[in-house]
Amino acid sequence: MYIRRPAKLLALTLALTAALVTPTLAQTPDGETHIWLPMVPQQRITDLGSLGGRDGVGYAINNQNQVTGYSQNSMHEMQAFIWSPGTGIRRIGVDGVTSQGIDINDQGHVVGVTQTDDYIPRAFLWTPERGLQDLETADSESSVAIAINNQDHVVGYTTLVDGHEAALWKPQAGVRLLGALGGDRSIAYDINNLGQVVGGSETADGDAHAFIWTEATGMQDLGTPVGEWSAAIAINDNGQVIGQRIDAQGNDRYFLWTAETGIVDLSARGCYLTGVNSINNRGQIAGDWLNGRGGFTAALCQPDGTIVSLGAATEERSYATAINDQGNVVGASQHQDGYLHPTLWGNY
């Protein structure tokens, strides 16, 4: 089981369409491929190391520049890790159990998924004080925790008889299922510090639509046009949502949603990323971009639409999975050995 941050999680969870995770070439308005981008000036590129194996990915970064993700150990098992400036990488997983850290809050608390020999994923919460603990699964066999806010509210999904359902875990309150937009399946991808939850849900017609959920209003469709599919990937504390959609012609698109504007195509703002994964409270969006070497390069889009490349010339390709409020970005770089290395871009 290989789990990436929200855009790539769609295939594992909703499984509504393979096209939702198949990026297309980013096109400028005149139809030419957007190739040449400036590098971030004076950026620092850090390989986060490994737990003894060859492969690893950084999935999330908090405002203390702590990172979580997975790294292979010497036995080629995927193990969840936490990396901190000054202390480096350390394992938070358990021997013999595959694990991945998927998100981390500003207290350094990590959520993610473990998997034992029964191949059933189980959501976990890790804290320095209590270690790794399973989260309640609402009478289901499997669950995945995908995001955590600074109140230790966790979202993801749990698997029921009819399919996956978006789930919210709160301390002392256990798990709460968030329902769906008329269909059988839903998944929550992110939660902000105001308790707003976003994700994707199956509708009564069998389509996939992006949603926002709050305690007061419940689950609401973000307004996906008729004939399109969509999922909301991330939300910041200002209520700005980024997501992915498939238009009526079958093309992949990426969007920004606010309560005031509704869904706005990112390309209309000049943001021609080929994948989006994270938005910070400054409105910077992290994802990837099709470079001129036939691969993808980690990149971020500024609020004014300007795109900057984060990749290094020594990499074959790279991916940005998350960005914090300082604009520091985490993800993975694929080097000439063919393996992914967890990578941090930024000044910290």
Identity of the amino acid at 307: I
Q: What is the pLDDT of residue 158?
A: 92
The Cα–Cα gap between 242 and 95 comes to 36
**Mean pLDDT score across all residues of the chain:** 85
The Cα–Cα gap between 60 and 329 comes to 9
Question: For strand 252-258 and strand 241-246, is the pairing parallel, antiparallel, or unpaired?
Answer: antiparallel
DSSP letter for 224, please. Answer: P
Does the pLDDT value for residue 30 go beyond 50?
no
Q: What is the pLDDT of residue 155?
A: 98
More confident residue, 44 or 48: 48
Coil, strand, or helix at residue 338? coil
The Cα–Cα gap between 78 and 69 comes to 10
188-228: per-residue pLDDT in tens?
999 999 999 999 999 999 999 999 999 999 999 999 988 89
The Cα–Cα gap between 182 and 204 comes to 4
Q: Which two tokens stand for residue 310?
A: 């984060």
DSSP letter for 100, please. Answer: E
Does the pLDDT value for residue 10 go beyond 70?
no
79-108: per-residue pLDDT in tens?
999 999 999 999 998 888 999 999 999 999
Tell me the percentage of the chain whose pLDDT exceeds 70.
Answer: 85
Coil, strand, or helix at residue 21? helix
CB half-sphere exposure, 120, CA atoms < 13 A: 11
Q: What is the pLDDT of residue 2?
A: 28
Does the pLDDT value for residue 229 go beyond 50?
yes
Helix (H) or strand (E) holding 218: strand 218-221
159-174: per-residue pLDDT in tens?
887 788 999 999 988 8
236-262: per-residue pLDDT in tens?
999 999 999 998 888 889 999 999 999
Coil, strand, or helix at residue 6? helix
